[in-house]
Structure 1
């Protein structure tokens, strides 16, 4: 059974890149969302094994979305993605409940390494 993944990023191109990397490596992308509000709705609807979440998005950022998802499901597994390698955001993401952090532009190997580490 493939691990089921929800991809959250306001940039369709980024979602497509991540989806491509994961699909080619046996993961099932069950949904996509373009902001934190939609991410929470999709999480409740799809109950994925893993969420790849951008930090900077309109309506609700990734850090707030992680907090909400963790409140719904304490066992939720989330990997944060951001172009900004700012230390404070990494720390805030981890404190919010994220399991790992990947920086854009994505390297396929780093994405897969993070996913394997988090979902086993």
Structure 2
């Protein structure tokens, strides 16, 4: 049985959110909340104090990079970004904001789960 890590999944696409949550829950991770934009990511992080936020970069209201900066400035929650974009400048910006991992969509279970395990093991 996995250690009960608390994870929040943030993505403006409900199908992507559902797929990520299912991949995480089937192997025993505790997905405590879901959201659709960066504002919700910040609020849910303040409410749930998760170990990890898995978040899209491009979202309405507040993007994932901005939300990451806020989350990392006010908590020790790790943030993993997911995006359909793999431009080097986005990766550099993400790392500067304190992102612990960066995966390009579509994310497959074979990529997601080992990355999540590594991030949480290094906490």
What is the TM-score with the length of structure 1 in the denominator? 0.96
Query: 1:28 — aligned with what?
Result: 30
Question: Please, which of 38, 47, 50 is the counterpart of residue 49 of structure 2?
Answer: 47
Aligned pairs, how many? 119
- How far is 1:89 from its partner? 0.7
Query: 2:108 — aligned with what?
Result: 107
2 CA distance for matches of 1:97 and 1:53? Answer: 13
Q: Which runs of 4+ in 1 moved over 2 A?
A: none
Kindly indicate whether residue 100 of structure 2 is the aligned counterpart of residue 90 of structure 1.
Answer: no
Secondary structure at the residue paired with 1:19?
Answer: helix
2 CA distance for matches of 1:78 and 1:50? Answer: 6
- RMSD, aligned CA: 0.8
- How far is 1:79 from its partner? 0.5
Structure 1, unpaired ranges of 5+: none
